[in-house]
Structure 1
Amino acid sequence: MPPKRATSSKKRKAPDSDDEVSTPPKPTKKSKVKDSGDAKSEEHTTVPNGQPTNKVLPVNISFPPQIPDTTRISTWNISGLAASQKKGFKYYVEAEDPDILILTETKVNNEPVDPALTERFPYRYWSISEKKTYSGTAVLSKREPLSVDKTLPGHPDPSYVKGRIVTLEFDSYYLIATYVVNAGVGLKTMDAKKLWNTHFEAYIRDLDKKKPVIWTGDLNVAPTAKDLTNPKPNWNKTAGYTEEETTAFANILNPPKSATGANKFVDIWRQQHPDDRHYTYFSYRFNCRSKGIGWRLDMYVLSERIAERVKMCEIRSEIYGASDHCPVVLEIEGSL
């Protein structure tokens, strides 16, 4: 039975590892959430960082009204569109009603024909991997872009890029949606990640010279120790939290002196929540959601010169269960 229309508060995939079962924070603040899948009541808790531990979408989803004169953008790793649609995907989309919806890890093999999406978003751009039911990135928009690009210029293997990037050009900004390469279990695909990072940094800097950039999606990096529950045992051992990856990310935000003329970028959620240890990804393994063991991998990175225009950036923490990731939403002043 499909979930009922889904209350939420304001929140790929690093590979699962044994450290994720280390001693978690003790849960507090018991509350009730109704299981949107089979209408059972599930008692859940809120862990000390303030994020809930529900494993299914709430029955009712509602958010504060969109701030006037802003553009609302939502990014969500859905861990497979078909699976997510069975677990309440459309109820989040209805409640959020963003101007632009970015979906990562769609795992689609063809452009979906979904009336609920086609009616809401007239402009839809799907980047589909050549490998079946793998990867996948999409940008669904109520506003028509000036141009669309699904390539990463300079990357030597265009087929590897498919499913991982969509860039939309608007009057005021470039919007880059990515499902960034994962360094893999045992860091076995770190060379592929390094290659991606090298070409992506050149790409985002080239675009930034023309007009401001909004980069979002599943970036597959936890930038600092605040961005995952167990930083010490994961450091340089687990994909997403290695010196190679965090340094590459940090160099985009604050370019080294050797990057002459390069502008700074801002991790906007972190700027607005400097001390919060909130996460966007909770592995289905090891009961990580209930234990509050997570990673912040989904985010927005903006050209520094437009950061002050961001009026809100929040992790939709209760929107969990349709995927092992939570959506992240941003509202930026003015039109794109």
Structure 2
Amino acid sequence: MPPKKEGSLKRRRSETDDDAFQKTVLKKTKSDASQQATVNPQPTNKTLPEHISFPPRIENTLRIATWNICSLASSQKKGFSRYVEAEDADILVLTETKVNQQPVDPVLNARYPYSYWSISGTKSYAGTAILSKHKPLSVTKTLPNHPKPQLIKGRIITLEFENHYLIGTYVVNAGRDLQTLGDKKEWNKHFEDYIRDLDKNKPVIWTGDLNVAPTARAVDLTNAKKNWNKTPGYTEAETTSFKNILNPPEGINAGKFVDTWRKLHPDDQHYTYFSYRFNCRLKGLGWRLDMFVLSERIAEHVKMCEIRSEIYGASDHCPVVMEIEINL
């Protein structure tokens, strides 16, 4: 979820990107939370269920899952491994891992022979990982031409396969009171160029915590009007950049992209992030921040994309999973 200024190493280690986001957004939603009339029926457990099962994957598809785990160490104590085993994704993208070195996790190591971790230069902060059953052709952890490499560490991993790219991101956010909106704009500028350049070579699957509310509709975030241009993840600069990736402005030679979950669920109100504060999960006060965004030319090959709402308690985010017919 949204951050601090990456250059400031004095930030309290206990404060996460989500904390910074919450301090801004919850000032605007506290009164709304107390007035919310409809109780959201989603589970509000503090750890994952003991028994987790999902429908079998669709035949001849690749299953990819993404999950902001809000600290690997913390989620491991709350049932993380049960989700990993039940989902059995071919590729698992983890964000906000907050690890300081590549971890030794028997469950992950047994299931995924190819694991790639991007670790932040700030201790116990950010972090992205992609775990795969399939060996990629290449792996990169940089955002080309970005002038601040320190800002990128722990934020992005790209795997190249024969027929597509997979980008996993824990996107920079605009910070509490939008203090780091400039950093977010810098990220967006270079990321837009990067994903378009990759797409010209082969199709792209972009996933992770994208740290932006896709639209102003209530189906994508609560209290859109109150948050507009005040809350990280929902400013004109951020939403415009995301829209420009999906539908490039006139004059830009680039392909279109598709917000896959929204395409398959055009009117569903279904969030992936609920602040722990003020019982936001119970009251249905959330945001859809974790997504799959695909090159338009492969979007029709997606056979399923779901938000795993029942996987709550190990993190303040829920996983998102996609099954796609695609040859590696």
**TM more than 0.5:** yes
Question: For the Cα contact (< 8 Å) 1:103–1:139, is it kept in 2?
Answer: yes
Question: For the Cα contact (< 8 Å) 1:20–1:288, is it kept in 2?
Answer: no
1:295 and 2:287 equivalent? yes
Task: Tell me the SS of whatever aligns to 1:18.
Answer: helix
Within the candidate set 27, 31, 42, 1:18 is matched to: 27
2 CA distance for matches of 1:156 and 1:265? 26
Task: Tell me the SS of whatever aligns to 1:302.
Answer: strand
Question: For the Cα contact (< 8 Å) 2:44–2:313, is it kept in 1?
Answer: no
Letter in 2 for 1:326: C
Question: For the Cα contact (< 8 Å) 2:46–2:78, is it kept in 1?
Answer: no
Task: Tell me the SS of whatever aligns to 1:300.
Answer: strand
Within the candidate set 230, 233, 254, 2:223 is matched to: 230
Q: Per-residue deviation at 1:262?
A: 0.6
Question: For the Cα contact (< 8 Å) 1:52–1:318, is it kept in 2?
Answer: yes
Question: Higher helix proportion, which one?
Answer: 2
Contiguous gaps of at least 5 residues in structure 1 = 1-11, 28-44
2:113 alignment partner in structure 1: 122
Question: For the Cα contact (< 8 Å) 1:128–1:136, is it kept in 2?
Answer: yes
2 CA distance for matches of 1:130 and 1:71? 33
Task: Tell me the SS of whatever aligns to 1:130.
Answer: coil
1 CA distance for matches of 2:164 and 2:29? 38
Q: Deviations along 1:102-128, whole A, 9 cap, x unmatched?
A: 000000000001111111000000000
State the TM-score, normalized to the length of structure 1. 0.88
State the TM-score, normalized to the length of structure 2. 0.90
Task: Tell me the SS of whatever aligns to 1:178.
Answer: strand
1:331 alignment partner in structure 2: 323
Within the candidate set 50, 69, 86, 2:60 is matched to: 69
1 CA distance for matches of 2:168 and 2:123? 20
Within the candidate set 230, 252, 258, 1:266 is matched to: 258
Q: Per-residue deviation at 1:25?
A: 4.1
The 4+ residue runs of structure 1 with deviation greater than 3 A are 51-56
2 CA distance for matches of 1:251 and 1:302? 14
1:80 alignment partner in structure 2: 71
Question: For the Cα contact (< 8 Å) 2:137–2:160, is it kept in 1?
Answer: yes
Question: For the Cα contact (< 8 Å) 2:172–2:187, is it kept in 1?
Answer: yes
2 CA distance for matches of 1:233 and 1:239? 12
Task: Tell me the SS of whatever aligns to 1:324.
Answer: coil
Q: Per-residue deviation at 1:77?
A: 0.2
2 CA distance for matches of 1:214 and 1:205? 12
Letter in 1 for 2:118: S
The number of residue pairs the alignment matches comes to 303
Q: Deviations along 1:184-212, whole A, 9 cap, x unmatched?
A: 11000000000000000000000000000
- Counterparts of residues 95-244 of structure 1 (less than 5 Å): 95-225=86-216, 226-244=219-237
Q: Deviations along 1:257-282, whole A, 9 cap, x unmatched?
A: 021x2100000000111101110000
Letter in 1 for 2:27: D
Letter in 1 for 2:221: L
Question: For the Cα contact (< 8 Å) 2:307–2:319, is it kept in 1?
Answer: yes
Question: For the Cα contact (< 8 Å) 1:227–1:278, is it kept in 2?
Answer: yes
Q: Per-residue deviation at 1:60?
A: 1.7
User: What is the CA RMSD across the aligned residues, in angstroms?
Assistant: 1.2
Identity of matched residues, %: 70
Question: For the Cα contact (< 8 Å) 2:116–2:131, is it kept in 1?
Answer: yes
2 CA distance for matches of 1:324 and 1:335? 33
